[in-house]
């Protein structure tokens, strides 16, 4: 192309020079020079007109007849347009492939642009969400799905966790909504039918709650008779006394497990509603728990500290006077569980530290001890119900295997999380991480 341009320039210079020489023969050099340039301009306009018409038609068909310069130019344009057509065909093929893939899914798929307008939806969206692509494309998603929790979920920036809603097409259908962003300006919404899973979970929750309540009466009767036998055991042999004490200890453990199951069932049944939250002193709550633990474990040392921080965005000086807006009884249960666990699994002269601080724009309440610690292979399963790290570890302390499950559930109801860090033989650290919105401003 470069050589074609050079050749074209040289041709123009030679033509103008020749025209000037011819004009000079007649005594009019500049007239001949100008006529030569005019002829060349008309020729170029002719070629330009044909090339422009060819480009206007999308560079389809054979290239227009032209000289070397225009041939080189149209050749480059033809190569570029051919490449673009191939890329466009490939893109269309990929789009059609993904659309066909989404159409084959039983889950609903909806593509929404930045303005909240429906761009595309698969056929399952008709069944699960009541969105018909032919008539609803171009409509606002919020006008068709009038579920506030879905709209709020779409407006937020965090889509790591899905939400559950009742299907707009059937009150008996339960949907799980998961959202992801792509291409910076589009939202991809998936809706999965979890009706069967929801029913199973409801049945499991009801079964646990009913069984727990049903166990309370026989346990009370058994404990009552055992206590009566122990109170009138003057004439019983020692072997019977030992058996009665063991049965009382096991019935007490079973009673504690029933209490934990009932408490966990209540937490699962209650909706996460911050209307029940109240403001109270974090220090007062933790200090009351420390007092109770020190009575039960007088040899253990428990310390409480507040790491001074200044939260500029909420204009609050973080110290021992800070107040937390949450459910008092639930947090009392969660914190007490963590402190009691730390006390159970430390030596007689063990040390337990409770530290409150602001880190990474979150409120951290950390419970650490220098006890026996936990092997790292167990950390991911500690919050599972009835999961025991080691039988010998729980048999002596009377654990139910439900404490950390209750803690995790309570924290989830406060949009908080539990972070566990432990090393075998060196101690454990349980950190409750809360959003700063729970602090009183």
Domain boundaries, the chain: 2-96, 105-193, 197-269, 275-438
Out of 6-15, 88-97, 106-115, pick the least confident.
6-15
Question: Tokens 């009466």 — which residue?
Answer: 217
Nearest of 413, 390, 423 to residue 273 by alpha carbon = 413
Q: Is the pLDDT of residue 272 over 90?
A: no
Domain 105-193 has CATH 3.30.450.20: yes
The pTM assigned to this predicted structure is 0.58
The string of pLDDT tens digits covering residues 229-240 is 888 877 778 888
Which whole-number Å values give the CA distances from 141 to 119, 130, 228, 439, in the listed order?
Answer: 10, 11, 68, 35
Fold of 197-269: Helix Hairpins (1.10.287)
Tokens matching residue 285: 């709550």
- CATH class, domain 275-438, is alpha beta
pLDDT at 347 over 70: yes
Residue 129 pLDDT greater than 80, yes or no = yes
Residue 118's SS3 state is strand
Per-residue confidence (pLDDT) for residue 240, from 0 to 100: 84
Give me the pLDDT at residue 271, please: 65
pLDDT at 392: 42
3-class secondary structure, 367:
strand
Which pLDDT tens digit goes with each residue over 142-178? 888 888 888 888 888 778 888 888 998 888 899 999 9
Decide if pLDDT at 209 tops 90: no
| Sign of the torsion formed by the C-alpha atoms of 75, 76, 78 and 83 | positive
Give me the pLDDT at residue 366, please: 93
CB 5 within 8 A of CB 71: no
Query: Could you give the CA distance from residue 264 to residue 257 in angstroms, rounded to a whole number?
Result: 10
Is the Cβ–Cβ distance between 278 and 325 less than 8 Å? yes
Sorting pLDDT into bands at 50, 70 and 90, what band is 394? very low
DSSP structure string for 256-317:
HHHHHHHHHHHHHHS---GGG-EEEEHHHHHHHHHHHHHHH-TT-EEEEEE--EEETTTTEE
């Amino acid at each position: 192309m470069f050589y074609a341009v050079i050749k074209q320039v040289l041709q123009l210079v030679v033509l103008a020079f020749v025209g000037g020489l011819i004009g000079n023969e007649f005594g009019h050099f500049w007239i001949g020079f100008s006529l030569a340039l005019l002829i060349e301009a008309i020729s170029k306009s002719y070629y330009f007109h044909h090339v422009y018409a060819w480009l206007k038609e999308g560079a389809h068909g054979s290239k227009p007849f032209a000289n070397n310069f225009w041939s080189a130019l149209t050749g480059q344009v033809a190569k570029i347009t051919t490449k673009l057509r191939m890329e466009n065909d490939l893109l269309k093929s990929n789009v059609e492939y993904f659309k066909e893939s989404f159409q084959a899914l039983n889950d609903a798929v909806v593509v929404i642009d930045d303005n909240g307008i429906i761009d595309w939806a698969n056929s399952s969206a008709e069944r699960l969400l009541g969105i018909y692509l032919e008539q609803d494309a171009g409509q606002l998603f919020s006008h068709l799905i009038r579920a506030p929790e879905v709209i709020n979920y779409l407006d937020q920036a965090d889509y790591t966790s899905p939400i559950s809603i009742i299907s707009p097409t059937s009150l008996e259908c339960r949907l799980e909504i998961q959202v992801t962003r792509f291409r910076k300006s589009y939202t991809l919404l998936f809706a999965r039918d979890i009706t069967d899973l929801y029913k199973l979970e409801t049945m499991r929750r009801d079964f646990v709650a009913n069984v727990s309540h049903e166990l309370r009466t026989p346990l009370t009767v058994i404990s009552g008779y055992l206590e009566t036998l122990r109170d009138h055991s003057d004439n019983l042999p020692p072997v019977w006394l030992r058996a009665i004490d063991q049965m009382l200890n096991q019935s007490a453990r079973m009673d504690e497990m029933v209490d934990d199951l009932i408490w966990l069932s209540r937490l699962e049944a209650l909706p996460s509603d911050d209307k029940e939250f109240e403001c109270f002193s974090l220090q007062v709550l933790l200090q009351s728990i420390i007092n109770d633990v020190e009575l039960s474990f007088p040899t253990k040392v428990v310390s409480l500290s507040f790491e001074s921080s200044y939260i500029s965005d909420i204009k609050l000086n973080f110290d021992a006077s800070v107040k937390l807006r949450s459910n008092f009884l639930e947090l009392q249960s969660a914190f007490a569980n963590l402190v009691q666990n730390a006390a159970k699994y430390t030596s007689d002269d063990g040390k337990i530290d409770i530290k409150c601080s602001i880190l990474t724009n979150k409120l951290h309440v950390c419970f650490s001890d220098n006890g026996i610690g936990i092997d790292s292979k167990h950390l991911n399963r500690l919050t599972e119900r009835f999961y025991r790290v080691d039988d010998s570890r729980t048999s002596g302390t009377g654990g139910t295997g439900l404490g950390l499950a209750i803690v995790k559930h309570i924290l989830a109801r406060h949009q908080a999380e539990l972070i566990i860090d432990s090393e075998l033989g060196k101690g454990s650290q349980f950190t409750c991480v809360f959003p700063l919105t729970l602090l009183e401003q």
